Chain A
Amino acid sequence: MASIRARFRGALGSFRITPFVGWVGVLGVILLVGVAAGLMVFVKGLSITNLNDLVPWGLWITLDLSSIALSAGAFLLCAAVYLLGLKQLQPVARTATFVGLIGYSMALLALIMDIGRPDRFWHSIVFWNTHSVMWEVTMCILLYFTVLILEAAPILGGAAWFRTRWPKLAGRLQTVHQLAPVLAIVGLCLSLLHQSSLGAAYGVLKARPIWYRPDMSVLFIASAIAAGPSLTVLVSMLAARLSRKVHVDDRLLEKVASFIGWVLVVYLYFRFWDAFAMTYTYAPGRTEGLQLLTRGPLAFNFWVLEIILGAVVPIFILLRPKLRARQVLRMVALALVVVGVVAYRWDTNMAGQLTVVTYLPSEIVTRYTTYVPSLVEILSSAGVIAYGALAITLGVRYLNVVDHRTREAESHVVAPALALPASE
């Protein structure tokens, strides 16, 4: 930390506001506003949100679900490197692990604001109802977050400034790398379970007909497998473009990008049959929920953000070698995948809650309600996103999380690091 501060002081001392300082400054301001909004939530409670008894889950849950989905690159690339033996992807897995760690911490921040009793967050660890999908989700978050911390430990231990200052600790952190294959297996199981369970958390609710279908978990995992690596590759490409110090192997990133294209095809395939099957026969609540998506207030999100921009356009770009090779186009495609999955999570969460199925006798009637997040919800969410962007920015700058030259380097320095003299 001291070293970071010293570098900051150095930057300030020269009185030059570089684009980096400007970017960090802007994120810092948003982060501070977000912290203030978050504190207001803790002090005043959820009454200052626009959540209500008909729509108890809103923007924060979308932020939570999106952060988790966008973290999926970590388990996927670690599995590719350590289980499938695609060692050349190791530097990309390193970036993905860091992005995943930050993503999961963002989800935790969103959740702590969302629960009515943040002071009792530890109850979810101590008191178990193993039948609850939410219990499973909680356990997966906590265990996988631990795995991510362990997987990311060598990144910190490998940073030059850290090694110089605390050589012994750095050495110890780097030895965690030996566990990488085991962590990759554990991470794969936990993460697959977690991503699918988030879909199942909606899918098991019979009271919400538009959610009550077994393929929710399949769709959640498929979209996460597309979106997670997208963010990782996008971050890598952006970092390489914005900083001269960051070096990437574009062939690797292109390879991952084409993989994403194929995953999107699979996702769209599932999505099509899932939606198509629902158009047959009238089912109270479900039909209205689908109409909300295809013709109602969520139609723009559904058709434009989720399907056309979020899947069809990226498939077209990422699966055509000529288009994919153009870096700007590829980055646009990856950004669209990210937007698409966020829109999907938002729309899913909304469709089930905006359609209220009556319980009165006679015929089952569906009523509509509305939800627009309050300013406090928006600002605090912006704060969480700013935190994530800031953490990734600093990670790129000071932890070399995007560096395709250091491949295998970590595994070699394990022993020497212990004896490394305190100079670079």
Chain B
Amino acid sequence: MTEETIGRRGFLKAAAAGALAIAGLKVVRAARASEPEGSSPNSWGMVIDQRLCTGCGQCTLACRAHNDVNPDISWNRVIAAGEVDGKTVYLPRPCMHCEKPPCAEVCPVGATYHRPDGIIMMDYDKCIGCRYCEVACPYGARAFNWEAFTGPNPAVPEWGHPEVARRPRGVPEKCSFCYQRIDRGLGLGLRPGIDPEASPACVVACPVGARLFGNLNDPDSNVSLALAGSPHYRLREDLGTGPRVYYLPARKEA
């Protein structure tokens, strides 16, 4: 056989066509991963009032019980973040459920995805455990199951009962805004953020009422009203991730 090399022109044509196809595919799909499919009247969000939070950690324990989380893992860490007027200020950190979630953008198999109501979900049956999402998350919201969580959950039954299946070894897990409570509650005609049965476990457990949960789309919801009336901030807003968790900062007494 005497084969000729493909002409430069032919090669360039083929390469250009290939590159265009790939670029086209990427542009078309670019909007997809970080944006939810379908639509919802709800846009769930959380407001955490740092003026009230005492750092007691009951939110973390309730979360562990209701979501059956390994004691080595916290979906909701409570971090000491400086002092105001000589008192420690605490910063509870659930998943931010970003509007532009870096984790969902990078997941190769689409195991982490954006629900129309704003919740960033994990499909633990789809995940291959590559941990790209964990590397991509600016908030450290994800924890990997380095080993299987076996045996009893020390937070159960004192802080609640598991409502979701335990995650297997080899996948990362994170806060889901207690989607199971929201979905079940809506099915029963309850109002998430108002009725405890339909609200995230951390919101219900907080003894000082430092957490509010509700629909950010509804201007009359408790979260919208709280944000309208007070100065607030979100974590690392400079990154453009658009967190759905808002903080009301502790301030010096005037």
| A interface with B by C-beta (< 8 Å) | 44-47, 49, 51-54, 56-57, 82-85, 114-117, 120-121, 123-124, 127-135, 137-138, 177-178, 180-182, 185, 188-189, 193, 201, 204-208, 352-353, 356-357, 359-362, 364, 411-412, 414
Q: Known interface pairs A84-B5, A188-B15. Does A208 touch B135 (Cβ–Cβ under 8 Å)?
A: yes
Cβ–Cβ contact A127 & B126, under 8 A: yes
Query: B138–A181 contact, CB under 8 A?
Result: no
- Please tell me if the beta carbons of A181 and B3 are within 8 angstroms of each other in the complex: yes
* Minimum C-beta distance from B239 to chain A (A): 5
Contact B144 A53 (CB under 8 A): yes
Q: In the complex, how many angstroms separate the beta carbon of B82 from the nearest chain A beta carbon?
A: 6
Write out the residue numbers on chain A whose beta carbons fall within 8 Å of the beta carbon of B236.
Answer: 359, 364
Give bound CA distance, A395 to B203, whole Å: 63
Q: Contact size class for B?
A: 35 or more
> 19 A-B contacts, Cβ less than 8 Å apart?
A45-B170, A46-B170, A57-B135, A82-B3, A82-B6, A83-B5, A114-B130, A115-B128, A116-B128, A116-B169, A181-B3, A189-B15, A206-B102, A207-B102, A207-B138, A207-B239, A359-B140, A361-B247, A411-B1
Q: Quick check: is B131 within 8 A (CB to CB) of the other chain?
A: yes
Q: Which residue of B lies closest to A86 (CB)?
A: B5
Assembled-state Cα–Cα distance A352/B18 (Å):
32
Question: By the criterion CB–CB under 8 Å, are B139 and A359 in contact?
Answer: yes
Nearest B residue to A410 by beta-carbon distance? Answer: B1
Are B18 and A189 in contact (CB-based, < 8 A)? Answer: yes
A363 CB to nearest B CB, Å: 11
Closest-CB distance, A357 to chain B (whole angstroms):
7
Quick check: B1 and A129 within 8 Å, CB to CB?
A: no
Cα–Cα, bound, A82→B109 (Å): 35
Q: How far is the CB of B6 from chain A (nearest CB, A)?
A: 5
Given the interface pairs A181-B3, A204-B106, A205-B102, the reply to whether A353 lies near B33 with Cβ below 8 Å is no
A134 with B106: in contact, given A53-B134, A185-B11 (CB under 8 Å)? yes
Interface residue from B131, B140, B249 paired with A57 (Cβ < 8 Å): B131
B14 surroundings in chain A (CB, below 8 A):
185
Q: Does B57 reach chain A (CB closer than 8 Å)?
A: no
Query: Do A360 and B144 form a contact, CB below 8 Å, given A82-B6, A124-B108?
Result: no
Judged by a CB distance under 8 angstroms, whether B29 is at the interface is: yes
Contact of B30 with A by CB under 8 A = yes
* Distance between Cα atoms of A181 and B4 in the complex (Å): 8
B107: contacting residue among A120, A129, A178, CB under 8 A: A129
B66 at the interface (CB under 8 A from A): no
- Select A116's contact among B1, B81, B126, B131, beta carbons within 8 Å: B131
Question: Whole-angstrom distance between the alpha carbons of A52 and B135 in the complex?
Answer: 11
Residues of A contacting B240 in the complex (Cβ-Cβ under 8 angstroms): 206
Are A124 and B29 neighbours in the complex by a CB distance under 8 Å? no
Report the Cα distance A67→B123, complex, angstroms: 31
Which of B1, B33, B134, B235 makes the CB contact (< 8 A) with A360?
B235
Give A188 to B8 CA distance when docked, in angstroms.
14
Instruction: Tell me if B127 is interfacial: C-beta within 8 Å of chain A.
Output: yes
Closest chain A residue to B124 by CB distance? A117
Q: Is B56's CB within 8 Å of the partner chain A? A: no
The reply to whether A115 and B130 form a contact with Cβ atoms under 8 Å apart is yes
Q: Which residue of A lies closest to B105 (CB)?
A: A131
Docked pose: A422 CA to B13 CA in angstroms = 44
Residue of B32, B34, B93, B169 with most chain A CB atoms under a 10 A cut-off: B169
Q: Tell me which residues across on chain B come within 8 A of A121, comparing CB atoms.
A: 128
Contact with A along B210-236 (1 / 0, CB 8 A): 000000000000000000000001011
User: Shortest distance in angstroms between B139's beta carbon and chain A's nearest beta carbon?
Assistant: 5
B8, B15, B102, B136 — most chain A CB neighbours (10 Å): B136
Closest to B139 in A: A359
Q: Does B148 sit within 8 A of A, measured CB to CB? A: yes
Q: A134: which of B8, B130, B147 is its contact (CB, 8 Å)? A: B130
Known pairs A116-B169, A181-B5, A360-B91; A131 contacts B144 (CB<8 A): no
Does B208 count as interface, using CB distance less than 8 angstroms? no
Q: Is the CB of A123 within 8 A of B128?
A: yes
Cα-based distance from A201 to B79 in the complex (angstroms): 30
Partner of A359, one of B3, B111, B235: B235
The chain A residue sitting closest to B238, CB to CB, is A364
A-chain residues with CB within 8 Å of residue B1 when the two chains form the complex: 177-178, 411-412, 414
Apart from A129-B110, A206-B240, A359-B235, 16 more pairs, CB < 8 Å: A53-B144, A56-B144, A116-B128, A116-B129, A116-B171, A120-B127, A129-B109, A132-B106, A132-B110, A181-B6, A182-B6, A205-B135, A360-B91, A361-B91, A362-B81, A364-B236
